[in-house]
Amino acid sequence: MIDAKAFTELYRSVYKELYRFALCMMKHPQDAEDAVSEAVISAYENIHKLKKDEAFKSWIFTILSNVCRKKLKAKERTESELKPEHIAGGGDADSGLREDVQNAFFILSEEERLVVSLSVFGGYNSKEIGAILDLNANTVRSKRSRALEKMSLILKE
């Protein structure tokens, strides 16, 4: 069984990647920090379920991805109840491009966002993403390719 010190060492090896992934999914630093904190607490409370230390990274990413999904669904419900009259626009060209990319990203399905996030922002390869999301590496490559193509088509409009 893993003790608190071992857990801390395992967490230290992945904390930056966890935050980058959560930030990509949640869009806001505070939301990302909350998601990572919740995932780490859950992982620590359930560390007895981890069978191999080598699986820690994919295990904690799975927990984080589930936390992010739960938070995003809750946020969607809240936002749909608070329909804004209008969305304020404006800003420079860089912020416009960033907003276009974000909009294209959020048109993707939840699974496509996870694959793209883990690949582009997390730096994981298809095999690692497959382990995290319980998918075949070839399936991951296909989903990533289709998702990036979808984003490209949206950005060309």
Confidence of residue 123 (pLDDT cuts 50, 70, 90): confident
**Strand, coil or helix: what is 108?**
coil
If asked whether residues 78 and 95 sit together in one domain, one would say: no
Q: Which tens digit of pLDDT belongs to each residue from 69-120?
A: 888 888 777 665 554 443 444 455 566 777 788 788 888 888 888 888 888 8
Expressed as residue numbers, the domain containing 101 is 88-157
If asked whether residues 61 and 8 sit together in one domain, one would say: yes
If asked whether residues 122 and 150 sit together in one domain, one would say: yes
If asked whether residues 52 and 71 sit together in one domain, one would say: yes
Dihedral angle computed from the Cα positions of residues 122, 128, 130 and 134, in that order, rounded to the nearest 10 degrees: -100
Q: Which tens digit of pLDDT belongs to each residue from 10-63?
A: 899 889 989 988 888 888 899 999 999 999 999 999 998 888 888 888 889 889
If asked whether residues 53 and 115 sit together in one domain, one would say: no
If asked whether residues 100 and 79 sit together in one domain, one would say: no
Q: Is 115 within 8 Å of 65 (Cβ atoms)?
A: no
What is the total count of domains within the chain?
Answer: 2
Closest by Cα among 119, 121, 120, 105 to 72: 105
